[in-house]
Structure 1
C-alpha cells in the first residue's frame, strides 16, 4: 500500500473496505454516515512528509512485545526504549505505533510506563471505563486503517472507579455518569456470578468492549479477516503492575 506520513492512499483504503464512492455508515451509535472523500486528511496529501518503509509487525508479535515490556515493568528491569532526543526527531513527521491501547482515564494506568515503551510506540486512547463510544471507535479505526497498527488492546484495571460507580448505580453529578450507560450491558452478563461484583464487572466490561469492536466496525472487521489485525482484552493489576489477557 502507498503511504504518506503514515496514511494509506484513498484508493487503497477503498479497496480495503470494499466500497467505491458510496457512503460508509459507521455502525456505532451516534456516528453519522460519511464518505471516504470527505475525510480531511485526504484533501491535502502534499503537505505530508513521505514515510520511510518500516518492517511490518504481525499482530502476535505486537502482543508479545507488549507483554514482554509489561514483564520488564513488573520485574523492575525496564529498558526505557525510544525515549531519546533522536527518537523524538525520528517520529516528529511520521508515526508507526505497533499497538493501540484503549484504556481507562486513570492516573495509575499509563500505557507507555506499564508496557515499558516509548515515544511513537503506542497509540493511546483513554476514557473512563475504557468504553467504545463513537469518538473512541473513530480513533481506533484511524490507527488501524491509516497507521496500520496491527494490535488493539482494550485494557481494564483492578478496582476501576467507573465500573465501581456502575455497579453501585448511584446518581453522579454533571456528566460524570455518562459512562455508566456504556458499561451496563457488561454488568448484566455477570449479574448473578459469584465473587466480587466489581472485579467480575471489570473483566466483563473488557470482554464486552472487545466484542463491540469486533462486531460493530466494518473497517476493523476487514482487517481481522485479512489477518492483519488482532483485538484483545487485558486486565491491569494495580497491586502488582501485571497485565493479563482476559
Structure 2
C-alpha cells in the first residue's frame, strides 16, 4: 500500500474532511511522558472519542489513510489546521490518545504536524538529526506504542537532508566533523553507497537510512510482538521538499 494510495488521488482538493478524533491527550507527548513517569498514572483517557471528522484511527491501516489524506491537504493548500480550538485544548488536559508516532529529522522544513495536517494530540513526534536512533529515541517510541497503544510508527526521512549529506561527506573523507556530529555521521554511514556519484549518493542514502532505521525499530521486541499480532505497523516514508509529497519507502 502506498502511503499516498490511489483512493487519495482525488487529493481532497475540495477540502472534504477525513477521519480524525477531536479529543487526544495532554498538550504534548513530552509533557504526558514526564507526568506519567513521575506519577505512575496513565495518560490515556478511558477510550478514543469522536470529533467532527469521525473517530480516531485505531488500526495501522486507518492511521495510514489519515496521514495520507492529511498530506494531500497540505500539498494542495487545503489544510484544516485541526484540533486547536479552546474546547480541544481544555479536553486535552485530561489525557492523550495520538494515533501515530512520527520519527522525523530535526530539519525545520519538515514539521510532521504540518506535513500531515494534524493538530494537538494527534501525533507523537520524535525528532533527531537524520532519524538517528539512540536509547532516548527508542524509549520515546516504545512509550507511545506500549503505553498509549499507538498503531502506527512512521520513520520520515526527507529530500536534501543535511545530516545525511554531512555523513556522506565524512565517509568520503571530505569533511572532519566536530564533536557530537561525528556520532550522527557514524550512525548514518551504513546507508552510504560509495558506488554512486555525489548527488545520487546523498539522495540514495536518505532513502536507505530510512530503511535501516525502520528495520531496527521493527526488530525491537516491544514493537515486534505487536507487529506480529497486527496491532502495529512500522513503515518508512520520505518527504519531498520540492513537491511536499510524502511517499512510502519499501
Residue by residue over 1:87-109, the C-alpha shift from the partner in whole angstroms, topping out at 9 and shown as x without a partner, is 11111120001000000001101
1:44 CA drift (Å)? 4.1
5+ residue gaps, structure 2, are 1-23, 26-34, 49-54
Aligned-partner Cα distance in 1 for 2:134–2:95: 27
SS at match of 1:196: helix
| Partner of residue 211, structure 1 | 215
* Deviation by residue 1:105-158 (Cα, 9 ceiling, x = unmatched): 011010001100000000000110011212111100000000011000000000
Contact between 2:129 and 2:163, CA under 8 Å: does it hold in 1?
Answer: yes
1:181 is aligned to 2:192:
no
The equivalent of 1:33 in structure 2 is: none
Q: 1:193 to 1:172 in 2, by over 3 A?
A: closer
Which secondary structure does the structure 2 equivalent of 1:65 belong to?
helix
**Which sections of structure 1, spanning at least 5 residues, go unmatched?**
7-39
Distance 1:185 1:50 in 2: 38
- Is 1:153 matched up with 2:165? no
1:200 matched to 2:200? The reply is: no
Q: Which residue of 1 aligns with 2:121?
A: 120
The DSSP-based 3-state class of the residue aligned with 2:108 is coil
DSSP-derived class of the 1:232 partner:
strand
* Residue number among 40, 46, 54 corresponding to 1:52 in the alignment: 46
TM-score (norm 1): 0.78
Q: 2: distance between equivalents of 1:43 and 1:119?
A: 22
Cα 1:43–1:65 shift into 2, 3 Å: same
How do 1:136-147 and structure 2 match up within 5 A?
136-147=137-148
Q: Give the Å deviation of 1:49.
A: 7.0
Cα distance in 1 for residues equivalent to 2:227 and 2:43? 28
In the TM superposition, residue 50 of structure 1 has moved relative to its aligned partner by 7.2
Report how far residue 193 of structure 1 moved. 4.5
Distance 1:228 1:244, change over 3 A: same
Aligned length: 206
Inter-partner Cα distance in structure 2 for 1:210 and 1:123: 17
What SS does structure 2 have at the residue aligned with 1:129? helix
Residues 239, 245 of structure 2: 8 Å contact kept: yes
1:90–1:239 Cα change, 3 Å = same
